Structure 1
Amino acid sequence: MSKKQLSERDICTKFITPALQQAGWDITSQVREEFLLTKGRIIVRGRLHTRAQHKRADYVLFYKPNIPIAVIEVKDNNHIIGAGMQQGLNYAELLQVPFVFSSNGDGFLFHNKIAADGLIERELNLHQFPSAEMLWQEWLAHKGLNTSGQQYALITQDYYSDGSNKVPRYYQLLAINRTIEAIAQGKQRILLVMATGTGKTFTAFQIIWRLWKAKAKKRILFLADRNILVDQTMTNDFKPFGAAMTKIQKRQANKSYEIYLSLYQAVTGTEEERNIYKQFSPDFFDLIVVDECHRGSAAEDSAWRQIPEYFSAATQIGLTATPKETKEVSNIDYFGEPIYTYSLRQGIEDGFLAPYKVVRIDIDKDLSGWRPDKGMVDKYGHEIEDRIYNQRDFDRTLVLEKRTQLVARKITEFLKQTNRFDKTIVFCENIDHAERMRQALVNENADLVTQNAKYVMRITGDSEEGKNELDNFIFPESKYPVIATTSKLMSTGVDAQTCKLIVLDQRIQSMTEFKQIIGRGTRINEDYGKYYFTIIDFKKATELFADSDFDGDPVQIYTPKAGELPVPPEIPDSAMPENDFKYPQLATDFASTGINEGEEGESIRRYVVANIEVSVVAERVQYFDVHGKLITESLKDYTRKMLVHSFASLDDFLRCWNSAAKKQAIIEELANEGIFFDALAEEIGRDCDPFDLICHIAWDKPPLTRRERAEQVRKRNYFTRYGEQARRVLEALLDKYADEGVTQIEETQILAVSPFTQFGTPIEIIRAFGDQDHYQQAVHELEQALYSI
């Protein structure tokens, strides 16, 4: 067979892999074929979703399993040798490796970003492929790293593997390697910024494991601010440390372990004797890792800050999804600039994080304010201060009970229209508000609460019953609780993989807190159908999307009109008003007493008013496409625009469609651009083939159903030129097309199911056409007959 007739994979097998083996590469440990880099952004249309095209490198070469060093992109021999270079450079940029190779099987085009002689690209014969050691030594020299001693042992130390051949994601590898190299070069303060849900704790474990195994760091302290975070870490990611690991508790310091995990509250205190960390000598720990470091260690007077300052000789790593930068507080001031950042936007773009829709609901009293009548008292007999109360006051200094009931009703309406057992977190202003919201949601969902009282629960810091149910809320296998009302407790560190609805009835002006709350929903869990989530915003918190510091756009923003359901429609409105929202300082989370602590620390009474009517003013919508660009047209208009962009004319589309070996390839390519054929068929109201949907939407051709197309073929006596058995098979294929579509009949596996089994085995059926090629030709001609009508 001519090389020109070989597929891309054939070129890899027959030419590229042998060239690597000849150059001394270990195929089992240093060469990974079809290496998945990204999963492809999840695209959401209405209640449907699909994924954009993933990024998969033909080859990624590793010096050691934890050190990627080069990318090879391969094309078939009908392409020139450098045809894959630009694609390979894209992959190399993700992996941040300097060496890229492109090949068509004749040789290699070698791109060397760090070439000492300045010649970045050159052609190589197949037998000239460089060895792993050659590339590695050149890269080490470029980085200024030693090739022997403790530094070299550290940077080449393997990460932990459970034997499953699972490799950390590309950005986790980068974060791990960047950190290890920085420590090897003597850097003492390191900041890693990784969006919630991207595996910060797993990344921290791999960093610690390599440092520990290489004996570069012998005693390590891992600090977190929530007990559940410490317990989850020990049980899950840190489990391989086994007996070398302990949790500091009961204010006892056992110095016989190597890996220590602790709440920062457990090792600090106002009294000197409560400062357990001082039971350790200042040089006891070699490494301190501070998880969620935005929450405390950034402030000079914070409790966390005492610990790293006491162990100042230790290498210290801060982990956060949201680096805090204000006039008063700075992570960078202590840790320095982030050594690596993996943002929420990048995580969504890569398909590792769930995108989200936003439903904005404006309540009349929030917008216009409310003023009591002179001398008016609240339900407890307290005279209400005479002033205008607005959104800033509600549920903090003033409670409108009917407002709480309205919010609970809108949440319930949404769940009734989607799924009443979707895990939901309702963020409230304070503990008192969380309890009142729990009561209102119980009344709105009385039927389900009667079946199980844990359907709605308040999970706040003061509620032992609620905190005891936090694990059940988090675990996908646990049905209850379904709805959790909270204030601050669940805003960070809670790994709620199946949370599909986040409700913001809390005034949020801190970008750090906003990103942390959004992070509760960004995890994907395909086993439980969690691919995206929805935010319902009652307090204009999502105005922070307009802030330049926000790095992850929603796929949709929807504001229903009064009386409309809070579920986004399939066809969006045309625009969204401009934002002129200002960002005052974040308020404090208040206690659940009748007397409320104000922003300046003074005591303020919280008034409770029972009979003031409130109503929804508006609810608005925006869609974002696969590239994060705003869509302001209908789904049909958007589809038409995408099709016209892909095909110059109807004739151009017909040529492409009819020449395609498999129609499924075109359908998948268009789906990756965000075209949802099922949703379009539902909108048009006919059981149409993608072919008809495309022709109808882009070029106004009358659409035929699949069954109408099948009947047209039958009327033409199309099958008379075939023998009896072949004719029966083609008629059955035509029926399958009418029922299930063209992609089903293109696969030979269909011959192994009913009704084809009554015609014989797949091999016997194919023989009725002569051979495999003639069978495929018959199917292709059947498709031409279908689409020539």
Structure 2
Amino acid sequence: MDKKTLSERDICTKFITPAIEQAGWNIKSQVREEFPLTDGRVIVRGRMHSRARPRRADYVLNYQKNQPIAVIEAKDNKHSLGDGMQQALAYAEALDVPFAFSSNGDGFLFHDNTGLGDHTEATITLDDFPSPDWLWQRYCQWKGLESTARTIAEQPYYDDGRGMTPRYYQMVAINRTVEAIARGQNRILLVMATGTGKTYTAFQIIWRLWKAGQKKRILFLADRNVLVDQAKNGAFKPFGQAMTKVGNRTIDKSFEIYLSLYQAVTGVEEDKNIYKEFSPDFFDLVVIDECHRSSASEDSSWRAILEYFSSATHIGLTATPKETKDVSNINYFGDPLYTYSLKQGIEDGFLAPYKVVRIDLDRDLQGWRPDKGQTDKHGNLIEDRIYNQKDFDKDLILEKRTELVAKKVTEFLEQTNPYQKTIVFCEDIDHAERMRQALVNANPKRAAENRRYVMRITGDNMEGKAELDNFTNPEEPYPVIATTSKLMTTGVDAKTCKLIVLDQRIQSMTEFKQIIGRGTRIDEDYNKHWFTILDFKKATELFADPDFDGDPVQVYEPSGPGESPVPGDDYDPHDPGAKPTPEQGEEPGEYGPDPEQPWRPDGPGGGEPEPPPERTRYIVDDVVVTVAAERVQYLGPDGKLITESLRDYTRKKVKEQFASMDEFVRRWNEADRKQSVIEELAEVGVFWDDLMKDVGKKLGDDPDPFDVICHIVYDQPALTRRERAEQVRKRNVFTRYGDQAQDVLERLLEKYKDVGIEPIEDPKVLTLAPFTELGSAMELANAFGGKQGYREAVRELEDELYQQPS
């Protein structure tokens, strides 16, 4: 047998798999072939999308099911033994495992990153592949897992019997946490971007520790009823009869898994603190969901629960760890044990990318000053000063500004999809109500179709809050647009939300991340793969802040005796323990509400706080507001927004791929499918539909991507598809074919002229009108002498279309 003639798959089947099996690995339970690490980044092209190629490891070896310890990368025998090693190491790093193997069927190159062997890399024969027990023993030694800890780490994941397994980053978070707790660590912080499955990850951690007998009674804490119910009815369901939701009246101590709202077990009065009915050592493990807002602050009354159960292991979960001079997650939990960021989630294709449309209004940029003695619409004398974006919709309301924002939102919806789920974030409840009215007036036909087309969903409005489930339910068409202030910034799983409107001045990075997180979920069933951010208040400038996707840095400065934090720009409205200023505490009851137990915020002496003083608000209805600037920004492959012009960005990216026009033309002509070149460029961020729209004004309505690139990047004159098709017709090059074949080629030319190159490269085009009028697909292919002859004719047609002038 000549190995050089075998494919990579043959090498795996005939040499690598037998070697693994011979070493004692169970192929069915311990070995995963073609293991999917990522889904492939979503690439947005105007209103269309595609996916980059997903990353797949040829083999992942598990000691227990879904507990990876090694990776193997295979190559065909034309490659050397170690050609796959760098790829294997990248996969091993992602999976947080120390062992990587590369093979071409002759043997293995073995990389051991534990530092426990004589060599980091060594060549071994097919007969010497290490056994599961040998690798696991070394893995445990590397991780510092002694005999008892090793038993805990060996506890398998929950298997639902339907093939659902954790994603690679969830595996890493689960394994690191279980292993850390097995070694005795008692304070753990996991940072995982919104939409990446924190609750499912928490369930698997609890399941393994519970089944191993390491943690026998567990408390899961959240500060929103919806979060507790989502966990109880979703990820935590396998706990069955061992699980209960804590009420606010009686405590049953016969359960093992307790899910609770903070406010269900604590209150202002001492007799409401029913968590004290449990002994301080009752729980072995406490998991705190959204810990950045629930208990980050030392002076939060809810921190008292954690202090009461201080002997238990505490795991904090958050997408946005809170790190300010006054509040710190790291100070309490320690540095994050694992971080999976929004940027990484988008790169892997598990989270939706975004496009930003920045709309700057003239009054926001220039400010506004009243005339001397000017009064507002209610006759109030307006204080003489310059009002700017910081004042609008707080101290000063320009009604025409609200109307313009509603008009621009409506225009965007009408140009894309008027029924896409949309959240409009406003300054406060009053602003949310005025925006609701403006959007209803801007959409009279839609509002007439259904009164719930636009709804205000805020903490003070029962009618609006009652529609929250309908808004987040993909199967419910209404409400379409939700205006809100704080209620929907977090804890709202709006998978199908495709448009986020920012008409709120956002100063907190924590809040900004949470708001962006409302759009990052992907829903394949409802064609939700990306989303748009419509920004009226420069909030998206925070994307450029290194803190947006960087590692959290502790800057905590504990208050001295007698000092208390003063809320300012660092104030986090999500923290129920914080004391909001009048401007910040706009939406009562939104961050601890539970119909069963109304939330009461902290106040002096444990009572209700003094109501904030009334502030003067001027309402002006006769000041014209216009759009000063509007631009679109795209999320590039590097995770940063593209701020340069689309043309300049395209020129730069294409020249990185093809330094000269000759290189580009050669690649285009050699490609079996021209569409593959278009997809290659889309992967590096060439946004075709928007680019076509931009240059189409100068190149005509139907430019070919080939001409767009040649014109923008290499300063060449461009032809329209119509002109290219006519040039082929004039050359009359297909006379050697029969009448039926010529008819097919003529209609392919017409199809190209109308919609471009992609459809004519697909053989299925022969099964569609108008080709079906000429005969069946087989008959039409036979007119060219068969399928191969048809493919050659299409290739010749493409060569004629893109013939360069001599």
Summarize the Cα distance change of 1:768–1:546 in structure 2 as closer, same or farther, 3 Å threshold. closer
Summarize the Cα distance change of 1:461–1:733 in structure 2 as closer, same or farther, 3 Å threshold. same
> 1:590 maps to which residue?
586
- Asked if the contact 1:348/1:552 (under 8 Å) is kept, the reply is no
* Matched residue type, 1:509: Q
Summarize the Cα distance change of 1:728–1:388 in structure 2 as closer, same or farther, 3 Å threshold. closer
> 1:291 maps to which residue?
289
Of the candidates 518, 536, 539, which is equivalent to residue 537 of structure 2? 539
Using the TM superposition, name which of 343-352 and 264-273 deviates more: 343-352
- Asked if the contact 1:378/1:607 (under 8 Å) is kept, the reply is no
Distance of 2:105 and 2:788 partners within structure 1: 27
Distance of 2:759 and 2:401 partners within structure 1: 53
How far is the alpha carbon of 1:434 from its aligned partner?
A: 1.8
Distance of 2:10 and 2:761 partners within structure 1: 22
Summarize the Cα distance change of 1:738–1:345 in structure 2 as closer, same or farther, 3 Å threshold. same
CA deviation string 1:476-515 (max 9, x = no partner): 1111111111121111110111112222222221111111
User: Does structure 1 residue 474 correspond to structure 2 residue 491?
Assistant: no
Of the candidates 298, 305, 308, which is equivalent to residue 307 of structure 1? 305
Which secondary structure does the structure 2 equivalent of 1:303 belong to? coil
- Asked if the contact 1:230/1:261 (under 8 Å) is kept, the reply is yes
CA deviation string 1:82-125 (max 9, x = no partner): 22222222222211211112222332222211242341122222
How far is the alpha carbon of 1:746 from its aligned partner?
A: 6.2
Which secondary structure does the structure 2 equivalent of 1:157 belong to? coil
Distance of 1:760 and 1:418 partners within structure 2: 37
What is the RMSD of the two structures over their aligned residues, measured on CA atoms? 3.6
> 1:39 maps to which residue?
39
* Matched residue type, 1:8: E
User: Does structure 1 residue 83 correspond to structure 2 residue 109?
Assistant: no
Summarize the Cα distance change of 1:651–1:738 in structure 2 as closer, same or farther, 3 Å threshold. farther
CA deviation string 1:691-740 (max 9, x = no partner): 565556555375474895698499666574x8x7xx96697477547636
Of the candidates 375, 392, 396, which is equivalent to residue 390 of structure 2? 392
User: Does structure 1 residue 671 correspond to structure 2 residue 667?
Assistant: no
Which secondary structure does the structure 1 equivalent of 2:325 belong to? coil
Of the candidates 235, 247, 252, which is equivalent to residue 249 of structure 1? 247
> 1:213 maps to which residue?
211
Using the TM superposition, name which of 406-415 and 417-426 deviates more: 406-415
Of the candidates 249, 261, 264, which is equivalent to residue 263 of structure 1? 261
- Asked if the contact 1:194/1:343 (under 8 Å) is kept, the reply is yes
User: Does structure 1 residue 131 correspond to structure 2 residue 131?
Assistant: yes
> 2:597 maps to which residue?
none
- Asked if the contact 1:456/1:481 (under 8 Å) is kept, the reply is yes
How far is the alpha carbon of 1:423 from its aligned partner?
A: 1.2
Which secondary structure does the structure 2 equivalent of 1:393 belong to? coil
Which secondary structure does the structure 2 equivalent of 1:237 belong to? coil
Distance of 2:127 and 2:765 partners within structure 1: 44
- Structure 2 matches for 1:389-428, cutoff 5 A? 389-428=387-426
Distance of 1:677 and 1:265 partners within structure 2: 51
Number of paired residues? 750
- Asked if the contact 2:751/2:759 (under 8 Å) is kept, the reply is no
- Asked if the contact 2:46/2:688 (under 8 Å) is kept, the reply is no
Q: Which runs of no fewer than 5 residues in structure 1 stay unpaired? A: 554-581
Which secondary structure does the structure 2 equivalent of 1:549 belong to? helix
- Structure 2 matches for 1:27-66, cutoff 5 A? 27-66=27-66
Which secondary structure does the structure 2 equivalent of 1:262 belong to? strand
Summarize the Cα distance change of 1:331–1:71 in structure 2 as closer, same or farther, 3 Å threshold. same
- Structure 2 matches for 1:608-647, cutoff 5 A? 608-616=618-626, 618-621=628-631, 622-628=633-639, 631=642, 634-647=645-658
Q: Which runs of no fewer than 5 residues in structure 2 stay unpaired? A: 552-567, 573-582, 590-602, 604-608
Distance of 1:543 and 1:486 partners within structure 2: 21
- Structure 2 matches for 1:645-724, cutoff 5 A? 645-657=656-668, 659-660=670-671, 665-677=676-688, 683=696, 684-685=699-700, 698-699=713-714, 700=716, 703=719, 705=721, 708=724, 712=728, 720=736
- Asked if the contact 1:432/1:591 (under 8 Å) is kept, the reply is no
> 1:565 maps to which residue?
none
Summarize the Cα distance change of 1:786–1:764 in structure 2 as closer, same or farther, 3 Å threshold. closer
Distance of 2:79 and 2:711 partners within structure 1: 35
Summarize the Cα distance change of 1:506–1:698 in structure 2 as closer, same or farther, 3 Å threshold. closer
> 2:751 maps to which residue?
739
Distance of 1:406 and 1:312 partners within structure 2: 53
> 1:234 maps to which residue?
232
Of the candidates 163, 166, 182, which is equivalent to residue 164 of structure 2? 166
* Matched residue type, 1:225: D
Which secondary structure does the structure 1 equivalent of 2:654 belong to? helix
CA deviation string 1:208-237 (max 9, x = no partner): 111122222121111111111112222222
> 1:201 maps to which residue?
199
Which secondary structure does the structure 2 equivalent of 1:520 belong to? helix
Distance of 1:451 and 1:552 partners within structure 2: 45
Summarize the Cα distance change of 1:671–1:412 in structure 2 as closer, same or farther, 3 Å threshold. closer
Summarize the Cα distance change of 1:455–1:716 in structure 2 as closer, same or farther, 3 Å threshold. closer
Distance of 1:665 and 1:474 partners within structure 2: 37
* Matched residue type, 1:533: F
- Asked if the contact 2:219/2:283 (under 8 Å) is kept, the reply is yes
Using the TM superposition, name which of 505-514 and 739-748 deviates more: 739-748
- Asked if the contact 2:424/2:484 (under 8 Å) is kept, the reply is yes
> 2:104 maps to which residue?
104
Which secondary structure does the structure 2 equivalent of 1:285 belong to? coil
Distance of 2:789 and 2:103 partners within structure 1: 33
* Matched residue type, 1:346: Q
How far is the alpha carbon of 1:200 from its aligned partner?
A: 0.9
- Asked if the contact 2:324/2:570 (under 8 Å) is kept, the reply is no
- Asked if the contact 1:710/1:734 (under 8 Å) is kept, the reply is no
Which secondary structure does the structure 2 equivalent of 1:60 belong to? strand
- Asked if the contact 1:681/1:693 (under 8 Å) is kept, the reply is yes
> 1:70 maps to which residue?
70
How far is the alpha carbon of 1:174 from its aligned partner?
A: 0.8
How far is the alpha carbon of 1:47 from its aligned partner?
A: 3.6
Summarize the Cα distance change of 1:292–1:313 in structure 2 as closer, same or farther, 3 Å threshold. same
How far is the alpha carbon of 1:744 from its aligned partner?
A: 5.9
* Matched residue type, 1:615: V
Summarize the Cα distance change of 1:669–1:602 in structure 2 as closer, same or farther, 3 Å threshold. closer
Which secondary structure does the structure 1 equivalent of 2:506 belong to? coil
CA deviation string 1:326-375 (max 9, x = no partner): 11111111111111111122222222222222333334444444455666
Of the candidates 344, 347, 350, which is equivalent to residue 349 of structure 1? 347
* Matched residue type, 1:626: P
How far is the alpha carbon of 1:173 from its aligned partner?
A: 0.8
- Asked if the contact 1:396/1:590 (under 8 Å) is kept, the reply is no
- Structure 2 matches for 1:463-612, cutoff 5 A? 463-551=461-549, 587-590=583-586, 603-612=613-622
> 1:113 maps to which residue?
113
Distance of 1:124 and 1:738 partners within structure 2: 60
Summarize the Cα distance change of 1:508–1:704 in structure 2 as closer, same or farther, 3 Å threshold. closer
CA deviation string 1:445-480 (max 9, x = no partner): 222112211111111111111111100000111111
- Asked if the contact 1:729/1:756 (under 8 Å) is kept, the reply is no
* Matched residue type, 1:488: K
* Matched residue type, 1:646: Q
Q: TM-score normalized by structure 1?
A: 0.85
> 1:559 maps to which residue?
none
Summarize the Cα distance change of 1:784–1:370 in structure 2 as closer, same or farther, 3 Å threshold. closer
CA deviation string 1:424-446 (max 9, x = no partner): 11222222222222222222222
